[in-house]
Structure 1
Amino acid sequence: MFHFSNIVRTKGDPKIVEGGPSPKQPADQLARALGWFSIGLGLVELLAPRRVTETLGMEGNETLIRAFGIREIMAGIMSLSVDKNAGLWARVGGDGLDAAALLSGLTADNPKKGNIALALLMVGGIAMLDYRAAQDTKPRRPAREARRKLFPNRSGYPKGLEGARGVARQIAARPKSPSLNPS
């Protein structure tokens, strides 16, 4: 069986015969996909804001679209990071901002209201995915009945507090070295 990973291997490297299951959980995979989607959408908004505003009949809002693009890219980067949950919640908040901006374009004189309605549907669907991913990746707390480890007698010093005080006294009792700066 041919495996793409074998293309970049040198002669002495072992060949990959079969790949195993991914160690990533479905929530992690969704967070990663949403992160990359966010970066892609952010690049479009940042680099082609006029195209976006023309499609929605919202000309004159290019600066806002660029700002939304930067927000999307930052949220995407955070969604791909170790702290993906914060990035996903940033995406959820951004979905609310996107919906509010789109609703402002639903005016009687906008000939492209249909495009805005479609964009609102898409934002709603993505918002549900963002919310689900944010919920699924939130840090887990131990169960209420889980026993906590308490260390009331620990000082943080391996030889105890008195041992640390003894070392501090020894340091204080050392003769002072002469100053290198003669006055």
Structure 2
Amino acid sequence: MNLRANSARMKGDPRILRSGRGSLGAADRLGRALGWFSIGLGLVQLLAPRQMTRSLGMQGQEGLVRAYGAREVASGVLSLSVDRSMGLQSRLLGDAADVAMLLAALRRDNPKRDNVMLALAMVAGVTVLDVVASQALKARHGRERAQPVPRSVTPHRGDRSGFPQGLARARGAARDFVVPPDFRSSPRPV
């Protein structure tokens, strides 16, 4: 399995030396658990949106709940992939969308207002876990980006000749160069 995974990596990416339960750190395990949680929640939102909207006093929003469920499943699958940090970033964006949706449901005329408050508290708790997992994964697996090498290119397009001291200085610089005898070719017959 490691051979296949290493062959699919980009040239600068680190190689997988070992895999399995023992090779996963606490951040990896938390990221995976959040991925499975996201898939489970997304499936509930996809398969039972009417019950979820009824419990939150949001009847008529079943389509929106289904769309959020599809997003949750996609984020969960991404959180279980090799690039776990991208999945956790998408989960954080989803948490923000969930909070916005729940805040809209927190109307005074909503009879299920207490359920919405409970859902907001649970989303806040999961958001804290997402932030912790994201930062821990970044600390464990993050690599600093290389700083670009500054190039000394003159600002004028016409001066980009490739000769550091200019084209005029390069002309005739090799006039006195003598080709070594072993580099010379014998004259070709015509």
**TM bucket, shorter chain:** 0.5 to 0.7
Of the two, which has the highest radius of gyration? 2
RMSD: 2.0
Amino acid at match of 1:141: R
Q: Which amino acid aligns with 2:104?
A: S
Q: Are 2:147 and 1:141 equivalent residues in the alignment?
A: no
Q: TM-score scaled to structure 2, two decimals? A: 0.63
Once the two structures are superposed, residues 138-182 of structure 1 have per-residue CA deviations (whole angstroms, 9 ceiling, x without a partner) of: 2422599xxxxxxxxxxxxxxxxxxxxxxxxxxxxxxxxxxxxxx
Corresponding position of 1:61: 61
* 1:86-140 Cα deviation digits (max 9, x unpaired): 0000001100000000000011110000000000000000000001111111242
Write the letter of the residue equivalent to 2:109.
D
Partner of 2:31: 31
Distance 2:143 2:67 in 1: 35
Structure 1 residue ranges, 4+ long, deviating more than 6 angstroms after superposition: none
Shift, 1:23, TM fit: 2.1
Q: Does 1:121 pair with 2:121?
A: yes
Give 1:83 shift: 0.6
Query: Aligned-pair distance for 1:24?
Result: 1.0
Q: 2:114 & 2:145 partners in 1: Cα distance?
A: 49
Q: Which runs of 5+ in 1 are unaligned?
A: 1-20, 145-183
Q: Could you tell me which residue of structure 2 aligns to residue 76 of structure 1?
A: 76
2: distance between equivalents of 1:141 and 1:68?
32
Specify the SS of the correspondent of 1:137. helix
Give identity over the alignment, percent: 53
Which secondary structure does the structure 2 equivalent of 1:43 belong to?
Answer: helix
- Could you say which residue in structure 1 is the equivalent of 2:91? 91
Cα distance in 2 for partners of 1:99, 1:81 equals 26
Provide the residue aligned with 2:41 in structure 1.
41
